[in-house]
Structure 1
Amino acid sequence: MLPRIAVIGAGLIGLSTAVCISETIPRCSVTIISDEFTPNTTSDVAAGMLIPHTYPGELNFCLACSCKVQTFDYLFAINNSSEALSNCQEVFHISIPQTGINRNDYDIVVNCTGIGSRELIGDLKIYPVRGQVLKVHAPWLNHFIRDPDGLSYIYPGIHNVTLGETREKDSWNLSPDPNISKDIFDKCCALEPSLQKAQDIKVRVGLRPARLAVRLQKEILVQGEKKLPVVHNYGHGSGGFSMHWGTAKEAARLVGECIATLQDPLPKAKL
């Protein structure tokens, strides 16, 4: 029987992990489960720039560096391919549970819930860093501008231009602040005066899933006689875009290890 894998979370980390699993473990069933999908995820709020980020609590420095390099190489290859201007779509079975996840429906669960891991699994090491940005229509802009402080920036995207931003630690407030919006717009207009004629200005707020270190590991959850392998991949903070493909590949590797254990649960005798 094909291994049944549930990926919890439909942001950049969850979707990337689901893609990696489907590519590296073709004989499996992948289900993406989330309470929100695009355009309502934290990833949709983010500007999505490839900027190196450090995690002071990283236990495996080599793994962290490898994830960043793999992500860069992956994006660089796309940028230099025919896919750069085309829309690629991966097809998965997608469901939204109304009453939670039935452990009996899946052989392995992959936790990519970001800030939701605080409530889902009780991880008190993860905390929000609130970010408020503006999404504006300014198609004449085709270059990015970033203030030296890193808080004021103008990042053109395919559909809009992102103006930012705020970094409010431990703030759970998802309501837009009009004073912050005005401050962001004024600072960005000072960097690029042509933004004064920008149209269709939308305010977006998201909570970065900050943690001292990205949690990228296996765990066995036990309930009665039922054991459920879980692979965690969350806590990227503001560095999700810079590490997403590398951590997704590592999570897929861990899923492969879990599948091997399920198929051959008995330890090998040492000669």
Structure 2
Amino acid sequence: MAEGLELQASAGGLRVAIVGAGVVGLSSALAIVEHYGGSPLGPTITVFAEKFSPHTTGDYVAGLWQPYPHGPVPPAETKWNWETFQYLLQFLKRADVPEMGLFVQSGYNLFKHRVPDPPWCDIVLGFRHLTQDELSLFPGWSYGWFNTTLMLECKNYLPWLMKKLTNYGIKFMKKKVTNFMELSPSYDVIINCTGVEAAHLVPDKEVQPGRGQLTKVYAPWLKHFYSTHDEQKGLYNAPYILPGSTGVVALGGILQLGNWNEEVNDEDRKYIWEGCCKLVPSLRNARVVDEWAGLRPCRSSIRLERETLGSGFSKVELIHNYGHGGYGVTIHWGCAQAVAALFVEICDEKKRAVPSHL
């Protein structure tokens, strides 16, 4: 039997539950099913979630491809970032890319002081340091970078993923999972893509919410992104401006670790508005169209590894894939490929556990 068919056969009959329907959960499902070419000999997959698009956190984020780690960057995460960028680039050649929510975006990262180049400088396109003439456009900011990257709007991308998964026969179930063992013995493998809820569900004390708040305005004249970094406030707690595909621009700059409040508040609204208008004064002429607050699943590093739960007939293999902070879009496909590799590893182990005469 050919090697590819052996892998397909080794997954036949396996029942997989993916918990979480954000970009991390849906891409993990797609990576697994595409590994088996959508074959009926592949696993049976069901995605469980309390909320599906258009009601997930991802549906509201701007979708800039740029890592925002909350600790030192492990080599694996740099690799997963690169794999995701390369994966997305190939879709730019397709005529139906607008349906996916993907487009090219160039812009500025601004700092108060000189900083080292980021680990992703060789991943994005055209990375360079700003000239003094360019910096003169941004009073108060003395150093910066310019590069071309990608925007992936999840309000389009999540439905696009769900459509592909539906065509592969993946099932979706609206259900709040409160204990992974409630899915056993109905499933052989569980993939944990629960984001910030992993803090309670695993539980994992390393996971904490990184509350953010957005003001969305209609400002079609803005064509570049602006991301500022203030060391005194924390590198990712400073104004940013992210233009979308339809002229709606996301204004933000809030990162409140440990804050579980998902309500919009006036203090943060004022901070975002004044900071962004100081950066780009023409925003004062923009019309506010929406506001939103939500939680990033922050962790010192992404947890992507296997674990075995229970024993005997209730034993189930668990793959964790959570803790992506505010850059799930940036790293999701690389992580999904790593999940698929772990899944194949589990399949091979189960195949070896079957007596040879069966």
TM-score (norm 1): 0.88
Select the residue among 10, 24, 36 that pairs with 2:21: 10
| Residues 202-241 of structure 1: pairs in structure 2 closer than 5 A | 202-222=290-310, 225-241=313-329
Q: Secondary structure at the match of 2:87?
A: helix
| Residues 24-43 of structure 1: pairs in structure 2 closer than 5 A | 24-25=35-36, 26=38, 27-43=42-58
- Cα distance between partner residues in 2 of 1:233 and 1:244: 10
1:79 has 2:92 as partner: yes
State the Cα deviation string for residues 141-187 of structure 1 (Å, max 9, x = none).
Answer: 33222335352111112343211020111111111112211221222
State the Cα deviation string for residues 192-215 of structure 1 (Å, max 9, x = none).
Answer: 333334335322111111111210
Return the letter of the residue paired with 1:63. A
State the Cα deviation string for residues 203-240 of structure 1 (Å, max 9, x = none).
Answer: 21111111112100011101564210010000111232
- Taking only aligned residues, the RMSD between alpha carbons, in angstroms, comes to 2.4
Q: Specify every segment of 5 or more residues in structure 2 that has no aligned partner in the other structure, as ranges.
A: 1-11, 101-159, 231-235
Would the alpha carbon gap of residues 122 and 33 (structure 1) be closer, same or farther in structure 2, given more than 3 Å must change?
same
CA apart distance, 1:191: 2.6
Return the letter of the residue paired with 2:348. A
Structure with higher Rg: it is: 2
Contact 2:185 2:315 in 1 (8 A): no
- Cα distance between partner residues in 1 of 2:342 and 2:88: 23
Select the residue among 172, 178, 192 that pairs with 1:94: 172
Would the alpha carbon gap of residues 267 and 153 (structure 1) be closer, same or farther in structure 2, given more than 3 Å must change?
farther
Hey, what does 2:241 align to over in structure 1? Answer: 154
Hey, what does 1:125 align to over in structure 2? Answer: 206
Q: Which moved more, 1:189-198 or 1:67-76?
A: 189-198
Would the alpha carbon gap of residues 152 and 11 (structure 1) be closer, same or farther in structure 2, given more than 3 Å must change?
same
Would the alpha carbon gap of residues 19 and 189 (structure 1) be closer, same or farther in structure 2, given more than 3 Å must change?
same
Q: Secondary structure at the match of 2:333?
A: helix
Hey, what does 1:23 align to over in structure 2? Answer: 34
State the Cα deviation string for residues 39-73 of structure 1 (Å, max 9, x = none).
Answer: 33222333322223445366xx3322211110111
Return the letter of the residue paired with 1:21. I
- Cα distance between partner residues in 1 of 2:303 and 2:88: 23
Select the residue among 64, 67, 71 that pairs with 1:56: 71
- Cα distance between partner residues in 2 of 1:56 and 1:147: 18
Would the alpha carbon gap of residues 47 and 267 (structure 1) be closer, same or farther in structure 2, given more than 3 Å must change?
farther
Q: Which moved more, 1:111-120 or 1:149-158?
A: 149-158
Hey, what does 1:194 align to over in structure 2? Answer: 282
Return the letter of the residue paired with 1:42. T
Hey, what does 1:108 align to over in structure 2? Answer: 189
